[in-house]
Amino acid sequence: MSDSINYGPLSGLVGSWKGDRGLDVAPEENGDIERNPYWETIDFEAIGDVENAGKQTLAILRYHQQVYRKSNDEQFHDQFGYITWDSATGVVSHSFIIPRGVAIVASGTASEANSTVTIQMDAPAEKASDTISQSDFMRDNAKTTSFGHTMVLSGDELSYDMTTMLDIYGREFKHKDKSKLTRV
């Protein structure tokens, strides 16, 4: 890992964030849809860079996201991951795990306009066998079939929109999470 690292479009993410405007849309077994307002914290740390196969260098952020149901303040989602940027190609990659037994690598690009950075990453259905890994139980009962994630960063405001496609309770379900946070 080298000392002077250019984190490119990821540099504005570094720090601690908090938001209380999250909305989760999750499936229910009886066919209903559950809507859960939430608050959350996300901590992004700049941790250096890494070289892959002698020809790719990635600048790395590591993060931890903790999400709490507004109705009872109990944590109901936890996520650890890395977001990387390859300065040679502009590719941004997001690898993360959730404790249900699912791991994902979503990739995409970042763009900047009017001091706003937009990062779009996905793990599309046609690449799911390479980018989505899950326990036998989840594969058979609550399978993640694709994932898409957009982050919009504007100074001290960060918003995101995540869509996780699930094959659950005998139907395709669009599990959505969107939120807006401010820098702490």
Separation between Cα atoms, residue 23 and residue 145, nearest integer Å = 21
Instruction: Kindly state the smallest distance separating residue 11's Cβ from ligand HEM, in Å.
Output: 24
The label of the residue with tokens 């009872």 reads: 72
Instruction: Kindly state the smallest distance separating residue 59's Cβ from ligand HEM, in Å.
Output: 23
Instruction: Kindly state the smallest distance separating residue 48's Cβ from ligand HEM, in Å.
Output: 25
Q: Which is nearer to ligand HEM, 122 or 177 (CB)?
A: 177
Q: Which is nearer to ligand HEM, 14 or 26 (CB)?
A: 26
Q: Which is nearer to ligand HEM, 50 or 152 (CB)?
A: 152
Interface residues with ligand HEM (CB under 6 A) are 24, 26-27, 36, 38, 67, 76-77, 98, 100, 102, 104, 138, 142, 144, 147, 162, 164, 166, 168, 175, 177
Q: Which is nearer to ligand HEM, 3 or 126 (CB)?
A: 126
Phi, psi of 137 (to 5 degrees): -60, -45
Instruction: Kindly state the smallest distance separating residue 12's Cβ from ligand HEM, in Å.
Output: 21
Q: Which is nearer to ligand HEM, 107 or 164 (CB)?
A: 164
Q: Which two tokens stand for residue 155?
A: 């100074």
Instruction: Kindly state the smallest distance separating residue 131's Cβ from ligand HEM, in Å.
Output: 11
